[in-house]
Amino acid sequence: MVFNHRFTSRVVNRLHPGSDGDIFVPHGSITILGTTSMPTDRPDDTTPTSEEVLRLLKIGEPLFPRVKEYRILRAFAGTRPLYTPGNAAGRKASRNFHVMDHAEQGLDGMVSIFGGKLTTYRLMGERTTDKVCAKLGVTAPCRTAQEAIVPDPDEATLSRAAKYFPVQGIKLMADRMGDDLTPVLEHAEKADSNPLLCECEMVSLAEIACVANDPSTHSLTDIRLRTRLGMGTCQGTFCSLRTVAALSEHGVSLEFSATDNVRRFLQERWGGLRPALWGMQAREMELGRAVYAGTLNLDGAAHEQDC
């Protein structure tokens, strides 16, 4: 689950055998508390529940006694394949990854990799290619651990960016954009202005326009995944309209119409708000409904446009 503010500067983790609710992780301007886990027959259903949120709050209380009063932004869940030889399940199943050579099963030349997560992808890549290369007789050392995928931007680039982007947000943007920082910067330099469209996460028009122009971007949600658009306090109330409006003005079309796009975007956000629908975030959510249903009639428009 995600809290609206960063309440530690470092990760706070318990020293005990792996279990639910072990860890508070500050991330950008927010704090994440997790996790719960359960085996699932429906890996495509990643809906978090209120019961899980309440359980986490209870477990979190000994570490942060007033954690129940902190503003909750949302909850999220994901599916993760775990593989341990010998059928260990639940918390006992290893969170590590496994490289399997199927030669043992009579499938020579077939290698599989199971488990793992984004933070270990390069190590996973290294172990897998090492195994494959050994079979192929390639002995060159794997260099992935030494090479930066995206070099940190130099000072000159950052000071160039400072003319067009809010200073507090430049490092964050550079981290998000990686290789695409230069195109984003060039976009901002050519534009008349570079307004901030998402104030919570400090995402400006140039960044959004560059991501939107990427052929793999189809929706506002795709833009969010690259930029953090709509992931802050307002959960999309102000920035989703501004984004479809700006893209429309700049002739960038996405797969869905503006109304559909915003609706889908808010619907996705809604899924994470529902399990913690109380306190300050319930008020924020009512503001969102006041704006998109009460003022902009997005719910009515769905039935009244194109007919």
Partner 1 sequence: MSRIVDVLVVGSGMAGLMAALTAAEQGRSVQLLTTGMGSLAISGGSVDFLGYADGRLAADPWQSLALLPEDHPYRLLGTESVRSAFQFFADVMERQHWPMHPALAQSGAPRNTQLPTIMGTLKPSYLLPASLDAQALTSAKRVLVLSVQGLRDCRTALVVSQLKRYKSWADREFSQGLLPSPFGETHRAITALDLARLADKPQSRQWLLDALAPHAGKYDLILIPPLCGSKANPETWQAINAAAGCPVVEMLSIPPGVGGLRLRDALLHALHKHNFEMVENTTVLRAEISGKSCTALVAEASGQLRRHAARAFVAATGGILGGGMTLEPGKCWDSVFGIDITVPQDVAQWSEPEIFGSHLFSHMGVGVDREMRPVDAAAAVRWQNVFFAGRSLGGYDYATEKSGHGVAIATGWQAGRMAAAAAGAGENQ
**In the complex with partner 1, which residue's Cβ is closer, 12 or 196?**
196
Q: Is 279 in the site for partner 1 (CB under 8 A)?
A: yes
Shortest distance, CB of residue 58 to partner 1, whole angstroms?
Answer: 11
Distance CA 125, CA 131 (A): 10
Residue that is written with structure tokens 């359960």 in the block? 38
Total number of residues binding partner 1 (CB under 8 A)?
Answer: 54
> By C-beta, is 177 or 197 nearer to partner 1?
197
Binding of partner 1 at residue 245 (CB under 8 A)?
Answer: yes
Among 4, 36, 128, 259, binds partner 1 (CB under 8 A): 259
According to CB under 8 A, which residues from 193 to 232 bind partner 1?
193, 195-197
Least separation in angstroms between residue 15's CB and partner 1 is 29
The single-letter DSSP state of residue 173 is H
The residue (of 128 and 204) whose beta carbon lies closer to partner 1 is 204
Q: Which is nearer to partner 1, 4 or 128 (CB)?
A: 4
Query: Binding of partner 1 at residue 300 (CB under 8 A)?
Result: yes
Question: Under the rule (CB under 8 A), what is the footprint of partner 1?
Answer: 49-51, 54, 193, 195-197, 237-238, 241-242, 244-246, 248-249, 251, 257-259, 262-263, 266-267, 270-271, 274-279, 282-283, 286-287, 289-301, 304-307
